[in-house]
Chain A
């Protein structure tokens, strides 16, 4: 009997391995011809058009990016599109937080592009310069933090920024915020202290003082936004906040809370009236872009195509002026006229 069991388990295991091996093999043959085509195209490409060398199919090599977990889904989508357009190299995107992204970009100097959900700090620019990197900023979009409650919550729809600060710090129960709200403990679900989302919330709501929010009772912190979504869904008395993209994915079960009467929408995030909106950036340097044309090509592709994808990913497009400025930066960096 035992032997039987082991034999069947073994067979299952082998079957699984064989299946996965087959699965892994299928993309290989399709990849090969494109590669050949790409090199062919590269040799045939006319030299007079300076932009030809920045077409996805004409560049190869690796692109290493790291940084904000908020920018991650956007960069991932752009990388996917870039590969679909014929890029044959590898793009790695590490979702490690804006700060850690800059550490790898400016201190270790091991990434080509740094994703960030905030503007680079002066101290980070300095460390970049210390290793001979002059960071260039490209605005790619706008993220709104969504303060969310479960759809079962029928009392919180609109709060002031002051109330928001009380909800996420000293208040024990909902009735402590407004007497007419239920006498139930507030369950808080917030991103971890290492995330840019947390930093941004603390900056805007608590004036950069982390102590009140971290000292709050019933506080659960996680770098994993899905943990937060689960938590908020779990009770009508739960509240949380995270990037708008994650709200978008769970919009059916969650609802956003307006701040000072302003809902997070494309309009309010764009014009900055929604108090919890922030810009999204990618950073690189002119030197990297010149040494690795694939990086320059990817950034160009990113800037020119980001608006097709950004709403689908869950963020709001950057203003045309900001995108134009980013493109100008790009042209200057590679030494071309727009």
Chain B
């Protein structure tokens, strides 16, 4: 080993000043490779933002498009110059809200169970299974929603109430998709709470439930909040499930049993057809993409704030 680190390997002669100052070629090489890896991911992000912005600008420059109408209009049909993005935004939020009402309670409960109650053996079995659930392709979830959850909903609420494509089934299945993500991230956060804290609480006579909910849970709150925000971002960005099960036409409605189209679903449908470049329809999908980008960016900023605000450091 020592031979490797003397001057011969890197091509520099040993100097008398000492070993520390001599440059190491391998080290520099590795460092620059790592730097480029980081640089490329940032560069790609910048490239995407640039491309999105450029194409979206083409859209907003079109004389028929007015920013106010874009943000407040309730009809989206670019082909006939209706540019109100609200129907797409509301359905995105409705499906995401439904998903989170499934994913947050179940995910957190699963996380508390895995971290505080499950024995080591059970935990080591259950967690990989939970992670496999997260690995199922979302198109499969989409057909699960369309072929299983929708008929189920229709048999419960009646065929005339629940349309064949509806936001509820897409949202529910999206919740199942996000559940393992929330559970796994929250479990990591709970697990990271130092054992000393728990032991101190037990020492004061706290029950297991009190330790879990009143000591460990608040201590891990920042991590849990981050998990939830990541889950919400995932729900908003989720595409295949909503494209398959939620519907294929913008529809300004707050009834979850009706068909509608989310922002991602609309982009998929529009780009799946043969849109000609430079048409208003084509440019409009970039405006939607930009909108999506801003929404998830805002969520990420909020999540960082939350993490900073609630972070509790135990050293």
Contact = CB atoms under 8 A, between A and B. Distances in A.
B193 interface: no
B21 interface: no
Given A2-B124, A97-B274, A194-B273, A230 B164 contact: yes
Contacts of A227: 248
A231 B165 CA distance: 7
Given A211-B80, A220-B259, A100 B164 contact: no
A217 B163 CA distance: 14
Contacts of B160: 184, 235, 237
B146 interface: yes
Contacts of B163: 187, 234-235
B251 A218 contact: yes
Nearest to A1: B125
Nearest to A101: B274
A235 B275 contact: no
A193 interface: yes
Nearest to B251: A218
Q: How large is the interface on A (under 10, 10 to 19, 20 to 34, 35 or more residues)?
A: 35 or more
Interface string A217-244: 1111111100100110111011000000
A335 B163 CA distance: 58
Interface in A85-122: 96-97, 99-100, 103
A266 interface: no
Given A99-B274, A218-B251, A192 B269 contact: yes
B167 to A, nearest CB: 13
Interface string A179-205: 000001001000011110000000000
Interface bracket on B: 20 to 34
Interface string A12-25: 00000000000000
B275 to A, nearest CB: 6
Interface string B156-198: 0001100111000000000000000000000000000000000
B41 interface: no
Contacts of A28: none
A211 B80 CA distance: 6
A227 B80 CA distance: 23
**Residue of B163, B274, B276 most packed against chain A (CB within 10 A):** B274
B75 interface: yes
B128 interface: yes
A191 to B, nearest CB: 9
A321 interface: no
A234 to B, nearest CB: 3
Contacts of A6: 128
B301 to A, nearest CB: 35
B249 A194 contact: no
Contacts of B82: 214-215
A233 B164 contact: yes
Contact of B77 (A1, A215, A224): A215
A181 to B, nearest CB: 15
Contact of B269 (A2, A221, A231): A221
Interface of A: 1-2, 5-6, 96-97, 99-100, 103, 184, 187, 192-195, 210-211, 214-215, 217-224, 227, 230-231, 233-235, 237-238
- For the complex of A and B, the 5 pairs showing the least CB-CB separation, nearest first, are A234-B164, A100-B274, A194-B273, A220-B249, A97-B274
21 contacts: A1-B121, A2-B124, A5-B129, A97-B274, A99-B274, A100-B274, A187-B259, A192-B269, A194-B274, A211-B80, A214-B79, A215-B75, A215-B80, A218-B249, A218-B251, A219-B249, A220-B259, A221-B249, A233-B164, A235-B159, A237-B160
Given A1-B125, A214-B80, A231-B164, 15 more contacts: A1-B121, A1-B124, A5-B125, A5-B129, A6-B128, A97-B273, A192-B269, A215-B77, A218-B251, A220-B165, A220-B247, A220-B249, A227-B248, A231-B165, A237-B160
Interface of B: 75, 77, 79-80, 82, 121, 124-125, 128-129, 146, 159-160, 163-165, 247-249, 251, 259, 269, 272-276, 281
